[in-house]
């Protein structure tokens, strides 16, 4: 057996179930070996798409996903998606062919390229060590939550190896079964947090990515301590169903949520960085409020806003350790329960519908879609001026109903995100919300949606512009010719790919979406929404402040 085949077999034995990639000569045998060992392989049309599909799949399943790319340009095409995954601590193993001979057209310094974006370069450098190197890459990805690029020099891939005997299989199974224990929080750190919770009149929990497995524990602790429950954007949906759910804290927060977080006397970040987005540059932390953070990583404590107290440990275990104790009403009152019920969602915030002249108000569009689309949905959004509309107005059933690949703030990842999420959750209707700029940037993957038979709804908020730039620079009188585009018939383009398509120029056109939903949904649907473009979003102004 050659090394390339052995590596694929080992990753399957370690528990990998899905791989995404673009196959060239340098990853052909690797990819076929994955497939022959039962791993599902999704062929993307661009490596950037493959990386983001894998990222989204890993986020929505909690599994390690594999990306498979050709040496050199196959890897560089994937780099933007890998930067997003690395920043988000998504566990990925990227199998990259490698031309080590500097005279090869395909040669680049692959270690330097991936290290530059925060991924971890590793290598199968010796056929005799292929099992050890491969399983170590898998272990680092899973247990250290890293995006690992496993370089596979072409000559090493082609070398014969003794692998395939019982020992490597057993080693892979051992890695599959092993789970290192999270660091146990110290009694002193736990006591400190208990004192803060027991002394707080108005505690708010803000749960992030590191809390997505800990809903039950946090709901119970919040019950005892009288805390209200919010999340960062990446954990949106975690507390759905609780009457004390404030939804997302930060740029997407409703006026009520912003008011209540700002009014807290204790904010506890649970597996949550409390970054500039989640705290609106710190402005959602009230002047006298105490801040505590619970995180696996000590370095996360106090990184973005000053923290009064840090607990290093697993969110669920820490919450469980604090659940016993006296009950407090805390921030919870019948009056607040009523306000959260009545004002706690963006839909309840009044606005004037500005649809007209052949264009639909993006708020009206999104509320209309929220009414029509089944509740069992999985929403992915691209980046841009439009992105708050789907993030704020489309409700999601739980934390696995929203996939937000925006740690790198790259435009163009939205469609691939929706594909990875759709592969992860075939039971949910996938919804991709894109701007026209992001739609054109990631457009190659429309073919992937059709080929995979995904019953996806792709909504394009088309303002014929890079609206983010228009709104940022327009008011200062700068020329905007570089960021405006002529109308493009995105519905026709989508039909060319094999989509069904509806053009929406006013609220009445949503009838076309209802029609599609009633049908067999054999083809995916693209909703080409010609949106009004005169309204800048203040959440994007927030983003520009962070540049």
Ligand X SMILES: Cc1ncc(C[n+]2csc(CCOP(=O)(O)OP(=O)(O)O)c2C)c(N)n1
* Interacting residues toward Mg ion by CB under 5 A: 435-437, 463, 465, 467
Residue with tokens 């992937």: 448
386 binds ligand X (CB under 6 A): yes
Alpha-carbon 64 to chain mean position: 14
Structure tokens given for 112: 């330097």
Tell which positions 467-496 bind ligand X, by CB under 6 A.
Answer: 467-468
Calpha distance 295→316 (Å, rounded) = 11
Q: Which does 412 bind (CB under 5 to 8 A by kind): Mg ion, ligand X, none?
A: ligand X
Segment contacting ligand X by CB under 6 A, of 212-220, 272-280, 450-458, 460-468: 460-468
> How far apart, in Å, are the Cα atoms of 488 and each of 94, 104, 290, 462, 492?
36, 41, 51, 9, 9
Q: Which residue's Cβ lies closest to Mg ion?
A: 435
Q: How far apart are CB 410 and ligand X at their closest, in Å?
A: 4
92-98 and 18-21 strand pairing: unpaired
Calpha distance 516→525 (Å, rounded) = 7
Q: Which does 100 bind (CB under 5 to 8 A by kind): ligand X, Mg ion, none?
A: none
392 binds ligand X (CB under 6 A): no
Residue among 461 and 497 whose Cβ is closer to Mg ion: 461
Segment contacting ligand X by CB under 6 A, of 93-101, 258-266, 424-432, 436-444: 436-444
Tell me the Ramachandran region of residue 282: left when phi exceeds 0, alpha when psi lies from -120 to 50, beta otherwise: left
Angle, helices 3-14 vs 166-177, to 10°: value is: 40
Residue among 437 and 442 whose Cβ is closer to Mg ion: 437
Residue among 268 and 410 whose Cβ is closer to ligand X: 410
Residue among 350 and 357 whose Cβ is closer to Mg ion: 357
Calpha distance 174→464 (Å, rounded) = 54
Residue among 330 and 467 whose Cβ is closer to ligand X: 467
Q: How far apart are CB 73 and ligand X at their closest, in Å?
A: 18
- Residue from 125, 189, 242, 409 that binds ligand X (CB under 6 A)? 409
Residue among 294 and 380 whose Cβ is closer to ligand X: 380
526 binds ligand X (CB under 6 A): no
Calpha distance 367→361 (Å, rounded) = 10
412 binds ligand X (CB under 6 A): yes
438 binds ligand X (CB under 6 A): yes
Nearest to 472 by CA among 483, 461, 462, 460: 483
> How far apart, in Å, are the Cα atoms of 518 and each of 21, 402, 515, 529?
34, 24, 5, 20
21 binds ligand X (CB under 6 A): no
- Positions touching ligand X (CB under 6 A) are 382-386, 409-412, 435-438, 461, 463, 465-468
């Amino acid at each position: 057996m050659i090394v390339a085949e052995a590596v694929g077999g080992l990753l399957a034995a370690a528990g990998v179930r899905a791989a995404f990639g673009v196959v060239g000569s340098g990853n052909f045998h690797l990819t076929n070996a994955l497939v022959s060992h039962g791993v599902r392989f999704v062929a993307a049309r661009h490596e950037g798409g493959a990386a983001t599909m894998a990222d989204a799949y890993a986020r929505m399943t909690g599994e390690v996903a594999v990306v498979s790319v050709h040496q050199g340009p196959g890897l560089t095409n994937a780099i933007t998606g890998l930067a997003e995954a690395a920043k988000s601590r998504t566990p990925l193993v990227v199998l990259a062919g490698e031309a080590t001979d500097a005279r090869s057209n395909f040669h680049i310094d692959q270690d330097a390229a991936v290290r530059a974006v925060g991924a971890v370069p590793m290598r199968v450098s010796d056929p005799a060590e292929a099992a050890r190197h491969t399983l170590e890459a898998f272990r680092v990805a899973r247990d250290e939550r890293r995006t690992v690029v496993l370089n596979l020099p072409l000559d090493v891939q082609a070398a014969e190896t003794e692998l395939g005997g019982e020992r490597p299989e057993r080693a892979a199974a051992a890695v599959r079964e092993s789970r290192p224990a999270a660091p146990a929080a110290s009694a002193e750190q736990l006591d400190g947090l208990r004192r803060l919770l027991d002394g707080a009149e108005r505690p708010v929990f803000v749960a992030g990515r590191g809390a997505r497995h800990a809903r039950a524990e946090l709901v119970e602790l919040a019950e005892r301590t009288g805390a209200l429950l919010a999340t960062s954007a990446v954990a949106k949906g975690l507390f759905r169903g609780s009457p004390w759910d404030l939804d997302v804290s930060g740029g997407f927060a409703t006026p009520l949520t912003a008011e209540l977080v700002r009014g807290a006397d204790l904010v506890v970040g649970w597996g949550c960085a409390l970054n500039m987005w989640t705290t609106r540059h710190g402005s959602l932390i009230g002047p006298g409020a105490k801040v505590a953070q619970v995180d696996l990583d000590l370095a996360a404590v106090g990184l973005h806003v000053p923290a009064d107290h840090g607990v290093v440990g697993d969110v669920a275990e820490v919450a469980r350790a604090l659940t016993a104790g006296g009950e407090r009403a805390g921030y919870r009152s019948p009056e607040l329960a009523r306000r959260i019920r009545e004002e706690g969602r963006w839909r309840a915030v009044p606005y004037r519908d500005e649809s007209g002249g052949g264009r639909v108000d993006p708020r009206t569009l999104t509320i209309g879609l929220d009414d029509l689309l089944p509740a069992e949905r999985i929403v992915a959004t691209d980046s841009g001026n439009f992105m708050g509309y789907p993030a704020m107005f489309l409700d999601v059933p739980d934390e696995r109903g929203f996939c937000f690949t925006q740690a790198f703030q790259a435009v163009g990842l939205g469609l691939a995100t929706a594909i990875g999420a759709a592969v992860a959750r075939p039971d949910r209707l996938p919804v991709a919300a894109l701007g026209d700029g992001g739609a054109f940037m990631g457009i190659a993957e429309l073919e992937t949606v059709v080929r995979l038979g995904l019953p996806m709804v792709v909504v394009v908020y088309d303002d014929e512009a890079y609206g983010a730039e228009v709104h940022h620079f327009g008011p200062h009188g700068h020329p905007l010719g570089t960021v405006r585009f002529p109308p493009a018939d995105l519905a026709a383009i989508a039909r060319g790919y094999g989509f069904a398509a509806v053009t929406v120029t006013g609220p009445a056109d949503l009838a076309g979406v209802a029609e599609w939903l009633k049908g067999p949904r054999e083809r995916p649907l693209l909703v080409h929404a010609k949106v009004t473009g005169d309204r800048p979003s203040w959440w994007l102004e927030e983003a520009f402040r962070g540049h």
